[in-house]
Amino acid sequence: MDRAPHRRGRMLAAVATMALAACNAAPDGGAGEAAGHSSGGEPIDIAQLPPLPGLKVRPLTDVAFERTDARRARGRYLAEGILQCAVCHSERDWSRSGAPPVAGREMAGHVWKDEGGTRLVAPNLTPDDETGIGRWSDDMLARAIREGISHDGRPLHPQMWYPSFAMLSDEDLASVIVHLRALAPIRNPLPRTQLPDEVLQAIAARPVPITAPVAGPVDDSPVERGRYLTNIADCGGCHTAWEGERLAGAFAGGNAIERDGRRIFSTNITPHATGMAYDEAAFIAIMRNGKQGMTDAVMPWVAFRNLTSDDLGAIHAFLQTRHAVAHRVSSLAEPTMCAVCGQSHGLGSLNRVERPQGVVVPNLLLREYEGTYRNEALDWTVRIALHDGQLHAHTEGEPTRVLLPIKESLFAVEGGLGPMRFVRGRDGKVGTLVSVDVDDVPLLRLAGDRPGASH
């Protein structure tokens, strides 16, 4: 049940998920020009390339974010912490614990891959006019960060986590850009990103223009702040086995991650005994020191250690609300086949698919859950139907999944990312289906849909 246009092997997935496909100098030619102001306030004109078929590009504006001390401080905190900008846009010193960015070269850019006709380059994010972002307008940066469109109008490679950064609030976005403007310029000529035409066409439908305000957490409770931080960090992107033969579950680990010739499998961070069953204090300690340096540096704890204890505690609080999944994963042990995710990884042979202990739900009640539910923002529709005493969930293009009742209104999804919960409105009727996976995603029952109707 794929609810995102940028499929990453996900079923019942959340929106996922740095700017690697941007080039580092103004291109030659293009369709139209974008006026803005550079970091020094001078007018600039950078040609915009004609959009690829299927690519949606928001026109640039002349917005300029006010430079304040508060924004610079907040932007630095975000860029050096939860957003991991320096981890992606810098050469790293792999000889040191956590592999921090090479001192004095932070944000100066990095070539991630250069082979087989594909070159991925994380551009220089310092305000150098010739090799960095000095000539980019504020809205060029804003559009690249949250919408996946380069300063010249090209789509960014999905290694840039713009689906996750799309959830970055307007104020936090402005703060990050103000921070980047305040960096010391570093001259660092880098090659251009090169992507085969078929790759460009494949990713053209992924960027989504943002034309409405984006707010931060709904309140300042630890769970809601943790939800926001976890989403913009794309924790679910790394800690979910999107490409496994079988979906273990959201945050259940098993995702193969490669960086600079290193390859690891992400761990299970659900609140299960095989995952992250430890308390807040232990979680904060691990984020601070990477299990005394034993955590592989591919896991960017070197950035997360810069977060406050309150924010780390909030992330822990949110992760404790996720569905617990039994899945042992380690990159220190010899790889063996895992029945839960269908891959070979450390401790894999110790895993077994655990069918949840169900409860009996009367057919009369199950019929109230039948119907068609939709989330417009994600273009995701799920049809729930009752067959032979069991509910089934179906999305076009995906296999039909059996729903196993855990509680009267909560159902595990066989082979899915997490359970689904049916929610009643004030009138007592079922009006919402909530997917509890990387986040809580509501789908509303379509108007006129009748419980118990044939679908």
pLDDT tens digits for range 408-445: 999 999 888 999 999 999 999 999 999 999 999 999 99
Using DSSP, state whether 177 is helix, strand or coil. helix
pLDDT above 90: percentage of residues in the chain = 78
Q: Are residues 189 and 66 in the same domain?
A: yes
Do 291 and 155 sit in the same domain of this protein? no
185 shares its domain with 253: no
- Name the phi and psi angles at 116, rounded to 5: 60, 35
Q: Do residues 51 and 195 share a domain?
A: yes
Which of 170, 203, 236 finishes a domain? 203
Domain CATH for 403: 2.40.128.50
In this structure, the answer to whether residues 284 and 149 fall within a common structural domain is: no
306, 324, 350 - which closes a domain: 350
Q: What is the pLDDT of residue 77?
A: 98
Residue 58 CB partners (closer than 8 Å, separation 6+): 143, 147, 149, 209, 210, 211
- Answer positive or negative: Cα dihedral of 395, 246, 155, 200: negative
Is there a domain that residue 166 lies in? yes
Neighbours of 162 (CB within 10 A): 26
Task: Say yes or no: 51 and 193 in one domain.
Answer: yes
- The whole-angstrom separation of Cα 176 and Cα 381 is 35
Q: Is 6 contained in some domain?
A: no
300 and 274 in a single domain? The answer is: yes
Same domain? For 119 and 140 the reply is: yes
Tokens of 21: 């496909």
In this prediction, residue 40 has a pLDDT band, given cuts at 50, 70 and 90, of low
Same domain, 228 and 265: yes
User: Of 350, 385, 401, which residue is a domain's last?
Assistant: 350
Rounded Cα distance, 378 and 147, in Å: 15
Q: What is the pLDDT of residue 144?
A: 97
Model confidence pLDDT, tens digit, residues 116-125: 889 999 999 9
Give 362-399 pLDDT, tens digit per residue. 999 999 999 999 999 889 999 999 999 999 999 998 88
One domain for residues 162 and 233 = no
The string over 298-311, giving b where at least 16 C-beta atoms fall within 10 Å of a residue's C-beta and e elsewhere, is bbbbbbbbbbeeeb
Residue 277 covered by a domain: yes
Same domain, 106 and 182: yes
CA distance 423 to 371: 13
Is residue 199 assigned to a domain?
A: yes
Distance CA 229, CA 81 (A): 10
Is 16 contained in some domain? no
Q: State how far the Cα of 295 lies from the Cα of 309, in Å rounded to an integer.
A: 19
| Secondary structure (3-state) at 2 | coil
43 and 168 within one domain: yes
Cα 250 to Cα 240: distance, rounded to the nearest angstrom = 5
What per-residue confidence (pLDDT) applies to 42?
A: 58
DSSP label at residue 125? -
| Number of structural domains the chain divides into | 3
Domain of 90, in residue numbers: 33-203
- Confirm if 156 and 144 have CB atoms less than 8 A apart: yes
265 is a domain residue: yes
3-state secondary structure string across 228-283: HHHHHHCHHHHCECCCCCCCCCCCCECCEEEECCEEEECCCCCCCCCCCCCCHHHH
Q: What is the pLDDT of residues 162-204, one digit of tens each?
A: 999 999 999 999 999 999 999 999 999 999 999 999 999 999 9
Q: What is the DSSP string of 85-112?
A: HHHHSS-B-TTSTT-PBPTT-TTS-EEE
Q: Is position 24 within any domain?
A: no
- Kindly give the residue spans of alpha helices, DSSP state H, lying in 148-246: 162-165, 170-182, 197-203, 222-233, 235-238
pLDDT of 198-238, one tens digit each? 999 999 999 999 999 999 999 999 999 999 999 999 999 99
Average pLDDT over the chain reads: 88
Q: Is the pLDDT of residue 35 over 80?
A: no
Q: What is the amino acid identity at position 30?
A: G
Q: Determine, yes or no, domain membership for 178.
A: yes
Tokens of 287: 């984020």
